Structure 1
């Protein structure tokens, strides 16, 4: 293990809740926290179509906002925020967390059409493919 916790950030309230939970755990165990956003084509949906460079600025600001949200309650915690591209979000997160002590993802509240589908696709895939333990934090 590399002695850090990794929280997946996508800009949603559940991912911020997961980051805060991860910060509490990191503090309890005396470990640094990595906040990671897996940049994908979905980020383009939030950017101005006439400004392609705006995508990186938006995702960088999203990570910065997440870091600030965590630092409010954990000002002495060592936090590193990273934007990682190059693949499907779950693959990027699983690779980034390969030597983490824990991968933390948020869970969105969603209508459950099927009893077995209580997790979103990223959380579900992370649980099945990550080499590190995975914590799924509900947004309740």
Structure 2
């Protein structure tokens, strides 16, 4: 599903970091426009890439393969990025030096092009503070893809140690892929062959967790576009807790009031999704309301899916700084599939 794109070198102004890797400040992007000529890449082209952060870990390799598959499906360039702070401290003589940033991105490029020779691949080695580098890369890409260790911790991205605050501050969607994922398998149709007797009834799909209290345009745009390019059904999940007025005071639920309330919520969800379904008529749309806590419902519905899409409100700040919110936090730590965290207003 990839179009043939010439893989050209990208020339840019660069400086040499103390670690021996090449950094850039500021980046200059070029693309071949014919034999022997090059032209500057426009802002639209520069941001129409999928970026992946690399640190040489298994989780980063899983993220690389997922991002490459997504770039192929969306027919956009893939940007491979490694960043680390310059370190002037001498390496202990007994400790063998690790791979340089350039070696990491070059190995990743060779891996990708061996699998996908027609993919346009851009490589970047950045000398600078890793978290700030990630934020800059995210602002310059359609999405940023990183490796994740799920319930244990986020990995040491870029050998510098990056926390969830990066996800909480990124301008564009950030996709976290676990080390044990095999993203290449989704194109071969073998991504979800059960290892045990359990079979997920919904099958492969994209799941989006939708609320009714914010502007979810960015979330729905990303979810519908992803479902369309992958050819997967889109499963919309909205969790509700029954309000007090559906209960007898001090007693059980009044059935007909609960049914009426549920219908009202279903109508709100349908109206919110309807304009996007009309724009993407090829997407098979499914919906589910769950009477349980939002985070629990989202993680449960994501079982067996190819991607879980959750939102992060840009206004969600605390005294400690930006936060991703309880639903996204639960998804990042407990969902077994890749998780896309999409900022919205």
Give TM-score scaled by structure 1 length: 0.77
Structure with greater helix share of residues? 1
2:51 counterpart residue number: 6
1:29 counterpart residue number: 74
1:127 counterpart residue number: 167
| Aligned length in residues | 127
Cα deviations by residue, 1:53-84 (Å, 9 ceiling, x for unpaired): x78x7221111111112222111100111101
Mapped contact 2:59–2:178 kept (Cα < 8 A)? yes
Mapped contact 2:137–2:144 kept (Cα < 8 A)? no
Bigger Rg, which one: 2
SS in 2 for 1:122: coil
Q: Paired residue for 1:58, among 100, 104, 111? A: 100
- Larger relative contact order, structure 1 or 2 (CA cutoff 8 Å, min sep 6): 1
Mapped contact 1:123–1:136 kept (Cα < 8 A)? no
Gaps of 5+ in 2: 1-43, 156-160, 181-345
Q: What's the C-alpha RMSD, in Å, of the aligned pairs?
A: 2.7
2:301 counterpart residue number: none
Mapped contact 2:83–2:101 kept (Cα < 8 A)? no
Runs of 4+ in 1 over 4 A off after TM superposition: 47-50
CA shift for structure 1 position 109: 5.9
Alpha-carbon distance in 1 for matches of 2:107, 2:151: 24
SS in 1 for 2:134: helix
Mapped contact 1:3–1:100 kept (Cα < 8 A)? yes
Alpha-carbon distance in 2 for matches of 1:49, 1:76: 42
Mark the CA change 1:60 to 1:99 in structure 2 (over 3 Å): closer, same or farther. closer
CA shift for structure 1 position 11: 1.0
Mapped contact 2:144–2:173 kept (Cα < 8 A)? yes
